[in-house]
Structure 1
Amino acid sequence: MLIVRALLLLGSLVLAMLPFATATAAPPTWHPPQGATELPLWPDGKVKAPPKLKGPEQISETISKASGEHWLMLQNVAVPTLTLFPAQGAANGTAVMVVPGGGYNVLAMDLEGSEICDWLTAQGITCALLKYRVPASGPNWNHDCNCRDIPSVPMALQDAQRAMGLLRAQAARWGIDPQRVGVIGFSAGGHVVAGLSTHARRSYSPVDAADAQPSRPDFAMVMYSGHLWAGHGKGLSLVKDIVVDDTVPPTFIAQATDDRTDDVRESLAYYQALIDAGVPVEMHLFARGGHAFGLRLKDAPVAAWPHLAQRWMQDIGMLPKPGP
């Protein structure tokens, strides 16, 4: 009887402690898929975390208001990383860095990240997924995050420039051609891509030999970007932090005209500026697809974009052309 009472008391204590244990457990965070390798982006102590973080890094499933899709939302990234996905089958030497969107507030790590890498690696491309600092890491972030008092430091651009230098510095390790390194970005990530393409100089002081490598991509894909168009009453003018010249790499642009998150004039403004500067550019606008479609919409016109992007990469010599 005494033993039974003791066990009942012990069970009561365990049950009483469960809410506390659950409340204090570390929140889930993002981990690279099997076969991928995650690398630190900066040497220890060389990068500062964004101020005013709301809590520890954590990931959760959410539903897009624009598309209704379920996606993994990563929040409070203080330590940026670069995750390498090896090419499937025979690598062709091309690499593409993927920059997910999220309004400079969060990161869409599967919808605009790992799923894009799966598509790229199936084409023999080595993929690098950028986990950059959020929130408020861009010059024109989503003010819904209540971060107006955070200084306008282009942390996302810094992380992207650093990542491009690392890819080229470690090209031999990953079996890639340092002159065939491209980038694709979605929504806010598209703005990061435009920043990479138009800023030849680093936005930070060099920290090691990787920063001696060029940070501009050899080709760029800008997908339903925000923060490019200067706004109503200004024609198709670009925002002041995007300045286009003839050194911008060949660019592919895609967006749906029914996008209610980012006006289609974001893409039109960037396209017109590239045309004016003599930059090779291909743009596709689709009647239906909304925002944040990634690779998932199979029954909408926008579903054609991956094939068109693949054909474009073949045309500019970054992918081998199919045989006869």
Structure 2
Amino acid sequence: MYIAISKQHQGENFSGSVRDFVNYLEKENQEQSLEQHEYFFDQNNDRINAEEVIKEIDNNTTKLNKKDSKFYSMVVSPSQSELKAIDNDPEKLRQYVREMMKDYAASFYRNKAVTVNDIKYYAKIEKERTYKGTDKEIRENQPYATKILELKKEIRQIEQGKSKEQIKTIKKEIERLEREAPHKIDGKRIVRDMKKEGMQNHIHIIVSHKDVTNTFKLSPLSQHKEAETILNGKTIKQGFNRDKFYEAAEKTFDRTFNYKRNFMESYKARNVLDKDPKRFLAMIAGLPTTEKQVALKTLYKAGVKVPTIPTNKVQLAYKALMRLKRGVETAINSGSIGI
């Protein structure tokens, strides 16, 4: 499970409407008949149209200044394994989001406990993903793509008086490169923005910066986890614990759908990797045999080389660990590892 939270992006200030982002999330509906449209949903409603989302988010901004985001964007991306466990069922994803948003609310640190009923949010399921530059398939196809581009440029630059046989030779070379590119879909070389195969359901969530009563701010990107200040003799609690939220969201999925999560899928694995790559490797080594085999197989399939750490060469060991860290991070970002 991969969850990413980001703030509204509107240049130097955040005074713009949520309309552009909502319109972006409507892109899949533009290719579908009305009966196939995917609607926004919240904690209690399944069919919320785009205009209502825009109205509700844009009007829930009392006392926010230009330096305050009006809303936050959350992307929830289940792995192929997690989607398989729920049969890629949109209804189960809606069920999960509604449970997960309870974890989101509980991760705020306030004098009065925050509940999901305090959160104004709108979620939408998307069924397609496209290939990005960080994906393994794009990276490994890139040498072929570069050479093909050079050859096509060469064809364009050939003067009219040149032999047609020369152009034929270049085109044959292009055909060979297209055939030999390692990653294809339906015989076509995978390129950026090509739609991915398989189950790709994921969820976009728009969360208002203000609570549902438009009274107080709730920022999931607060720099504090659990901070306390004294104001007029009273203790004021503030903050949002993202680690707590990510771990709780993962456990909610596992509990709700009886999902058996292995180490490489866990938020704990990613968190340890970020902070201490050597401990990450030690944790893999310390797993029970079956789980360790699954972890190493997952890394191998994602194209990550697991180093043997030399104990007497500190600098070499550090470099090996950093290569491991970069490799796993790239695999996670590209979706090769479903953390």
- The TM-score bracket by the shorter chain reads under 0.3
The structure showing larger relative contact order (alpha-carbon pairs under 8 Å, at least 6 residues apart) is: 2
Structure number with the higher strand fraction is 1
Structure number with the higher helix fraction is 2
How does the TM-score come out when normalised to structure 1? 0.27
How does the TM-score come out when normalised to structure 2? 0.26
